[in-house]
Amino acid sequence: MSKESAQPEEVTEEITDINEMTDVSAIRQRLEENIDQEIVVIVEMGRRRQKERRGILKEIYRSLFVVELDQDENNFERASYGYRDILTKAIAVKFVDELEDEEGTEE
C-alpha cells in the first residue's frame, strides 16, 4: 500500500524580468534565448550614478556574457559582464524589443 501525501502542490510564479531572477542558470538561459538581440546594460557606478550602454548580445559563456557595443555611443567595441553582476544588482539588463513592446501597450 502506498500513501499519498496530502500536501498541496507549490504554485510558483515564473519570473520573466531578468533583473528579478535569483538563479544564475535562469539568468543564463534567459540571455541565451535573446542572443543576437539588442540590449541595454545599465551599470551602477556608485553614488547614484549610472552608465547606460546599448549593444547586441553576442556571446554566452559559462560565467559571463559579451555585448558588442554601439560604436556611436561608446569608446570600446565590446564589454563582458558576469551573471552575478545581475544577481548583485551591479548591472541591470533590458531587452530593447521588450522595451518597445511596453511602449506600444502604454498608448
Task: Tell me the domain boundaries of the chain.
Answer: 18-106
pLDDT at 11 over 50: no
Half-sphere exposure of 58 (CA within 13 A, CB side): 13
Compute the average pLDDT of residues 43-47.
92
Q: pLDDT by residue (tens digit) across 57-96?
A: 999 999 999 999 988 887 889 999 999 999 999 999 999 9
Looking at residue 98, its pLDDT comes to 83
pLDDT at 24 over 90: yes
Closest CA to 46 of 80, 91, 94: 91
Looking at residue 76, its pLDDT comes to 86
pLDDT at 101 over 90: no
In this structure, which topology does domain 18-106 adopt according to CATH? SH3 type barrels. (2.30.30)
